[in-house]
Amino acid sequence: MSSLDTNETLRDLHSAATSHRGDRVFNRVITGAAFTSLIVLAGIAIFLGLQAIPAFQSQGLAFLTTTAWDINTDPPTAGIWGMLYGSVLLAVIALVIAVPASILLSVFMVFLAPPKIAKILTNLVDLMAAIPSVILGLWAFYILNPPAEEWQQLLNQYLGWIPIFENASGNFLGTPFIAGFVLAIMMIPIVTSVTREVLGRTPPELINAAESLGCSLWTMLRYVALPYGRGGIVGGVMLGLGRALGETIAVFFVLKLVYDTNWYKVIESGGGSVATLIVSRFGEVTGPFELQLLLAAGFFLFLGTLVVNMIANLIVSRTGRLQK
């Protein structure tokens, strides 16, 4: 659209126009507003970080490395290791389900489906992304739970000798598997929309060349389309991961929160999640000290998601630049 030429003309015109006093004010107002996002991010880090200091003073590093939530004892002990680990475990389960499903779904939309069906599917995936998490939680609690309980029982019955399918309690509800499954459902539309776009941008010349060399769809994907879009796909997965780490309400309904570390037993009742800890403890918070602990937990959740998200955006924007 705009060539270098018009860009330069524009810049000259702009610099001429900024000499006007009203424009200088306008510029300042707009620039100030543009930095709101930075101010908010810094504000979150500072306000929550300040609250984390008393939590650290009372608990020390144990706040991050131990698992406990005994507020009424003297002295109170609290540690969120199990919750941090639980969040990661749920995210890993979600990734294992959502990544292959989303990549296959976008392969179907880009390379297999007729354009009309692909368009309908795109809209449906967007609709899926629009489902509020509280509704997904409601659905999971009443619709997903009964069959999921049955699947997990069968898994345990036939594959129980594999350590991750151990279940000693006989309770198959509130397991990391169900929570991870719900997170996977939230991740699929996010990952799919990025992956679909990236795969759709594979240059047709490359595809045609691969096919004229005798590649089948599978070899074309394996050696052309997936390597070409790898950066974008990884970025999309990381975006979904950021969402999964921060998800609160849907997990709240399907995960039994235990103050213990569930290391690997994905179909054993009980697990952890930082975001869910905050909401579930907030309802019955006992005093300002416990609130501070929750704010400290929120601070670490914020840091974690921020890092994941920033890496994701860097990857996505870098591949975007390469492909131009």
Partner 1 sequence: MTILFSEQTSEESAAQKPLHPWRKKPRKFTISVALAVVLPFLVVLALLLYSNIPGALVMVIVYLPLQLLAAGITAVYNRGVRSIGDSMIVVLAIGATVFSLVILMSVLLSLVVRGIGALSAHFLYQNSVYINPSTPLEYGGIGHAMVGTFLILLIASIIAVPIGIATAVYITDVRGRAVPYVRFFVQAMSGVPSVVAGLFILTIAVSTGAFNQSAFAGGLAYAILMLPTVARTAEEVLKLVPDDLRTGALALGSTRARVVLQVVIPAARTGIITAILLGIARVIGETAPLLLAAGNNDGTVLNPFDQAVASIPVYIFNNVALPYPDAVTRAWGSALALMILVAVLFTLARVLGRGRVGKY
Residues 162-191 that bind partner 1 (CB under 8 A): 185, 188
Number of residues forming the site for partner 1 (CB under 8 A): 113
Q: Of these, 64, 71, 88, 101, which contacts partner 1 (CB under 8 A)?
A: 101
Q: Of these, 71, 118, 164, 173, which contacts partner 1 (CB under 8 A)?
A: 118
Other beta carbons within 10 angstroms of residue 193's beta carbon come to: 21
Torsion of CA 293, 186, 89, 290, to 10 degrees: 10
Report the SS3 class of residue 257: strand
Does 242 sit near partner 1 (CB under 8 A)? yes
Residue 48 or 68: the one with the smaller Cβ distance to partner 1 is 48
Question: Shortest gap between Cβ of 139 and partner 1 (angstroms)?
Answer: 5
Strand locations in the chain (E): 67-70, 77-80
As beta bridge partners, residue 257 has: 271
Report the SS3 class of residue 149: helix
Dihedral sign computed on CA atoms, order 90, 92, 96, 99: positive
DSSP 271: B
Residue 143 or 322: the one with the smaller Cβ distance to partner 1 is 143
Q: Of these, 18, 65, 169, 286, which contacts partner 1 (CB under 8 A)?
A: 18
Q: Of these, 68, 84, 105, 198, which contacts partner 1 (CB under 8 A)?
A: 105
Does 151 sit near partner 1 (CB under 8 A)? yes
Residue 132 or 263: the one with the smaller Cβ distance to partner 1 is 132
Rounded Cα distance between 108 and 111, Å, is 6
Site for partner 1 in 31-50 (CB under 8 A): 31, 33-38, 40-41, 43-44, 47-48
244 in Cβ contact with 96 (< 8 Å): no
Site for partner 1 in 264-303 (CB under 8 A): 275, 278-279, 282-283, 291, 294-295, 298, 301-302
Tokens in use for 10? 């524009």
Does 65 sit near partner 1 (CB under 8 A)? no
Rounded Cα distance between 254 and 269, Å, is 10
Q: Of these, 4, 61, 130, 168, which contacts partner 1 (CB under 8 A)?
A: 130
Go through the chain and tell me how many residues it has: 324
Does 315 sit near partner 1 (CB under 8 A)? no
Q: Of these, 8, 65, 70, 132, which contacts partner 1 (CB under 8 A)?
A: 132
Rounded Cα distance between 214 and 233, Å, is 26
Question: Shortest gap between Cβ of 265 and partner 1 (angstroms)?
Answer: 21
Rounded Cα distance between 301 and 201, Å, is 34
Residue 244 or 258: the one with the smaller Cβ distance to partner 1 is 244
Rounded to the nearest 10 degrees, the angle between the axes of helix 226-246 and helix 81-107 is: 140
Does 104 sit near partner 1 (CB under 8 A)? yes
Rounded Cα distance between 313 and 316, Å, is 5
Residue 73 or 138: the one with the smaller Cβ distance to partner 1 is 138
Residue 263 or 282: the one with the smaller Cβ distance to partner 1 is 282
Does 247 sit near partner 1 (CB under 8 A)? yes
Q: Of these, 80, 107, 234, 255, which contacts partner 1 (CB under 8 A)?
A: 107
Strand locations in 64-122 (E): 67-70, 77-80
